[in-house]
Amino acid sequence: MTVIHRLSDLLINQIAAGEVVERPASVLKEVLENAVDAGARAIEVQLEQGGVRRIRVTDDGCGIGRDDLALALERHATSKIASLDDLEHVGTMGFRGEALAAIAAVARTTITSRADGEAHAWRIDGSDRALAPAALGQGTVVDVADLYYNTPARRKFLKSEGTEYAHCDEMFRRVALARPDIGMQLSHNGRVAHRLPPAAPFARIGALMGDDFLQHAREVAADAGILRLAGFASLPAYSRAGRDAQYFFVNGRFVRDKLLAHAVREAYADILHGSRHPAYVLFLELDPAGVDVNVHPAKIEVRFRESRAVHQFVFHALRRVLAESGAGMAGEATM
């Protein structure tokens, strides 16, 4: 006979962390996106030892009130959606209410925050949920230390400090490209790696992709009303051996999507050969109701309602830009 029993909250969160907290970079993604959702104008990231020893993110956003701090660490607790209708029109990066609970289950986590109108800040300790007064200007500091200290099986899968740092750097770049209006800084082991003042999109892309990219890229600006594509895509002369410089954002969210990747590949099909890849930073905007971002906890995959129309739109927009620059030839997409 089997005996069924309920799992403890800690164990439930540790299991869930397997999906949300794959490595330090996934912690950084969640905490950065929370800062963005909080309306931050400036975000500072401090990493130690590739983010394994420490990830600390400071923002000047709306903050979390004293009585909400414990809730912020609860699973399925969020300020971002309240109904199925909200879910279908979600405009924030987060909405599942599970990231902080998962992070706090696998790392020593504290949140210090001062909400609008509060006399001082409060700090909550993720391990025992103890609250204490603290000093901070408006905003939030999330401190995540010793990732997987209590889950040795997962710790074994961490790579070298350099590799984990590279993943964190990549995650930082994605958010920084998506939000040039936010001032962003990243430091690693006390050394500043990126210091990015708020900037126009063009300037932010140059700062992160290099001026060489911009010199060998064309601006993409296509508007079909319900679908809009903006950004920069490289000319064949700038092609790369790897896919390391390919950024596609859908409604401000970095995505890896087969359909979009295919549309881009088709647009470059006759002008880039063999193992060469284009570099691009592209932003697709559409009605949130036309795209489902709730496919996977990390939200890096999306599903389009009108996938064929999206494919055609992206293909033709890129094709036009490449043809105008003399690089491409007119042609039709094959799905």
Q: Which residues bind ligand ADP (CB under 6 A)?
A: 30, 34-35, 38, 59, 61-64, 72, 78-80, 94-101, 140
Which positions lie near Mg ion, rule CB under 5 A? 34, 94, 99
Query: Binding partner of residue 207 among ligand ADP, Mg ion, none, CB under 5 to 8 Å per kind?
Result: none
- In whole angstroms, how close is the CB of 257 to ligand ADP at the nearest point? 21
Cβ distance to Mg ion smaller for residue 94 or 231: 94
- In whole angstroms, how close is the CB of 179 to ligand ADP at the nearest point? 14
- In whole angstroms, how close is the CB of 97 to ligand ADP at the nearest point? 4
- In whole angstroms, how close is the CB of 76 to Mg ion at the nearest point? 12
Cβ distance to ligand ADP smaller for residue 142 or 168: 142
Cβ distance to ligand ADP smaller for residue 52 or 100: 100
Cβ distance to ligand ADP smaller for residue 1 or 135: 135
Cβ distance to Mg ion smaller for residue 24 or 94: 94
Query: Binding partner of residue 95 among Mg ion, ligand ADP, none, CB under 5 to 8 Å per kind?
Result: ligand ADP
- In whole angstroms, how close is the CB of 199 to ligand ADP at the nearest point? 22
Listed residue (334, 202, 194) closest to 270, CA to CA? 334
* Angle at alpha carbon of residue 56, lines to 54 and 15, rounded to 5°: 65
Query: Binding partner of residue 23 among Mg ion, ligand ADP, none, CB under 5 to 8 Å per kind?
Result: none
